[in-house]
């Protein structure tokens, strides 16, 4: 064993992968570690991929990354699970002269010869790293327990998961058959929470069961459980909702799961839809701690925050928040309600669905199947004498008309619209049938917003904007001189991405008397936008530039999320 390791270390040294000093330093710090190579890997001097690549070159063997491959089931069946585990190999394809098999140690000739003799066939060998062999063994031959162990290693902390299932549903604790699936699902939810995921996507594909987390608005693929566990995982999550049928796989279903992770309540909004390879499930992670966000945490600079705080304290009128799906409109409205939720005010919301339950606020769930639509709910709640009304979204003329009438009779109304910028909201309301004079007399302000990723505070470094970015963002040289331009780098805290968390960029359009006159005259969106600019409105891109110059985000991020400003 010692001679084998010395031989490997000599190959690594001759290949320039490590130095003699690094080897001697690692040898002096063994302290019970399995090998000098293990110490070098733990220190980050080399990776197991570096080691296996070097050994593959020495053995004149091709090196492949099997983690990026989808191996067909007919190939996997060529070697039984017991034999694959015993010899630590994975079949990857059919070759011209035999079965192509990936090995982690190309120098272990005896094991390779034994496998060839056992299978009674010729083998074509390729090399990959031992870690990738282990992951592939779990992916293609593994159990739910092994898949959960992989997640546990990534989490690296004690588990504290308290499941609160739907009414009338009891946790399945004693069934030894289901226990590994329960553990795997629990670990999946813990990992999603640890990474700060907003969505969990479980997607059945032809030859794999893909798991992706949406983190800071970007989907990231995770370690996939074995394909054969797909049905069991989906069924377990359905059971946890207490309302979804595990027998029904032909129709879409919706449900809700409540869990506690580290004593922190988390809601999961669950949706399934049948696909050609099984049921696809998406879970929206609703972290109640985001309700406690103040306006500064949303991304407001002090001047915009002051304007916005004055708007949400108005006695009546409509305040609209606009933007595409996923731009943080609902979080902004909840933050508004949280800041003005006082004992002397009655607040009622009409939502579909209710994403967060807030203390001290009357929340109404829309249910079109029984006739509880937005208009029906609004007509009823006006008899409840509220001071403030929040409407999840204005979708049609009837909803808009009731909201406008409420605002004109002394209520402050918050709502959202799907438009690309703030001035376009006026045209959108007119398009659905609202008379321009009603828009002009009821709407007090419109705020458009987007979410951009924040640079990781732990690893961001001073940087410069490229010429292309300077032109696109219309940044003057004088602005750069006093700026703190930063660039993403990547570290363990941000998982080597360079960004951690998101913040809003905003465009606040105040409706003044002249703007009301323009709306009554049916002036174009372009003219309204020009007037808003004259009143001092910063566009989304201009607000993004301020946050670039303050070192909070990058030029690439703002350009990708905003459109160019019309001069």
pLDDT digits (tens, 9 = 90+) for 313-355: 999 999 999 998 888 888 888 888 888 888 888 999 988 777 7
DSSP label at residue 23 = H
- Helix extents (H) in 341-444: 374-381, 397-408, 424-431, 436-442
| pLDDT above 90: residue 111 | no
Cβ–Cβ under 8 Å, residues 390 and 350: yes
Angle 566-320-562 from CA coordinates, rounded to 5°: 35
pLDDT class of 167 with cuts at 50, 70, 90: very low
Q: What does the pLDDT look like over 195-206, one tens digit per residue?
A: 888 899 999 988
pLDDT at position 184 = 81
- Mean pLDDT of the region 409-430: 92
Two tokens at 325? 């799906």
532: its two tokens: 């808003």
Q: How do 412-417 and 443-455 pair as beta strands?
A: unpaired
Mean pLDDT of the chain: 83
Put simply, whether the predicted model's pTM sits higher than 0.85 gets the answer: no
Pair of tokens at residue 244: 């979804």
- Alpha carbon 7 to its chain centroid, in Å, reads 45
3-state helix, strand, coil in the chain (%, to 5): 40, 20, 35
* Per-residue pLDDT tens digits for 116-159: 888 888 888 888 888 888 888 877 776 655 555 555 555 444 44
Q: Is the pLDDT of residue 490 over 60?
A: yes
What are the tens digits of pLDDT across the range 403-414?
998 999 889 999
Q: Give the pLDDT score at 52.
A: 81
Mean pLDDT of 458-470: 88
- The pLDDT of residue 531 is above 70: yes
Residue 529, CA distances (Å) to 22, 421, 446, 510, 533 in order:
63, 9, 12, 11, 6
pLDDT value for 144: 56
Please determine, for residue 170, whether its predicted confidence score (pLDDT) is greater than 50. Answer: no
The helix/strand/coil state of 376 is helix
Q: Which residues contact 467 (CB under 8 A, 6 or more apart)?
A: none
- Strands of the sheet containing 264-275, edge to edge, are 161-164, 253-261, 264-275, 278-287, 197-204, 209-215, 218-221
Distance CA 121, CA 552 (A): 60
């Amino acid at each position: 064993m010692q001679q084998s390791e010395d031989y490997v270390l000599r190959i690594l040294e001759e290949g320039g992968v490590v130095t003699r000093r690094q080897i001697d330093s690692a040898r002096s710090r063994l302290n019970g570690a399995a090998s000098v190579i293990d110490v070098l890997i733990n220190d980050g001097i080399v990776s197991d991929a570096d080691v296996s690549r070097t050994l593959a070159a020495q053995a004149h063997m091709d090196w492949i990354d099997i983690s990026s491959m989808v191996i067909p089931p007919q190939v996997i069946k060529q070697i039984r699970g017991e034999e694959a585990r015993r010899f630590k190999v994975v079949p990857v394809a059919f070759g011209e002269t035999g079965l192509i098999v990936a090995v982690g140690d190309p120098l272990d000739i005896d094991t390779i010869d034994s496998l060839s003799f056992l299978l009674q066939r010729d083998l074509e060998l390729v090399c990959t790293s031992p870690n990738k062999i282990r992951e592939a063994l779990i992916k293609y031959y593994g159990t739910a327990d092994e898949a959960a162990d992989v997640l546990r290693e990534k989490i690296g902390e004690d588990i504290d998961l308290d499941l609160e299932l739907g009414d009338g549903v009891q946790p399945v604790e004693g069934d030894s058959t289901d226990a590994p699936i329960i553990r795997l699902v629990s670990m999946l939810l813990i990992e999603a929470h640890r990474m700060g995921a907003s969505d969990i996507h479980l997607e059945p594909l032809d030859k794999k069961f893909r798991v992706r987390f949406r983190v800071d608005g970007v989907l990231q693929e995770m370690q996939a459980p074995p394909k054969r566990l797909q049905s069991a995982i989906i069924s377990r999550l359905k059971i946890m909702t207490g309302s979804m049928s595990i027998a029904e796989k032909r129709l879409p279903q919706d449900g809700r799961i409540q869990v506690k992770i580290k004593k922190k309540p988390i809601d999961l909004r669950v949706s399934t839809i049948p696909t050609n390879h099984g049921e696809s499930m998406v879970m929206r992670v609703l972290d109640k701690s985001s309700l406690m966000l103040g306006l500064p945490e949303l991304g407001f600079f002090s001047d915009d925050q002051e304007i916005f705080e004055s708007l949400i304290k108005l006695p009546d009128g409509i305040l609209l928040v606009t933007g595409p799906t996923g731009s943080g409109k609902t979080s902004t409205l909840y933050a508004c309600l949280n800041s003005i939720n006082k004992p002397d005010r009655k607040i009622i919301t009409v939502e579909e669905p209710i994403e967060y339950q807030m203390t001290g606020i009357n929340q109404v769930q829309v249910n079109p199947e029984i006739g509880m639509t937005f208009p029906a709910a609004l007509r009823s709640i006006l008899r409840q004498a509220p001071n403030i009304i929040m409407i999840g979204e204005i979708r049609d003329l009837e909803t808009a008309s009731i909201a406008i009438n409420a605002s004109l009779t002394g209520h402050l109304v918050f709502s959202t619209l799907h438009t690309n910028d703030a001035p376009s909201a006026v045209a959108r309301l007119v398009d659905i049938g609202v008379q321009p004079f009603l828009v002009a007399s009821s709407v007090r302000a419109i705020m458009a917003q987007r979410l951009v990723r924040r640079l990781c505070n732990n690893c961001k470094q001073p940087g410069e904007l490229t010429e292309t970015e300077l032109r696109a963002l219309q940044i003057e040289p004088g602005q750069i001189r006093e700026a703190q331009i930063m660039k993403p780098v990547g570290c363990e805290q941000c998982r080597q991405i360079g960004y951690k968390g998101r913040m809003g960029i905003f465009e606040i359009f105040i409706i003044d008397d002249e703007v009301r006159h323009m709306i009554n005259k049916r002036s174009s969106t372009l003219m309204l936008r020009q007037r808003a600019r004259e009143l001092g409105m910063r566009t989304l891109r201009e607000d993004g530039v301020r946050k670039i110059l303050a070192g909070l985000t990058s030029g690439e991020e703002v350009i990708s999320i905003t459109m160019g400003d019309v001069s």
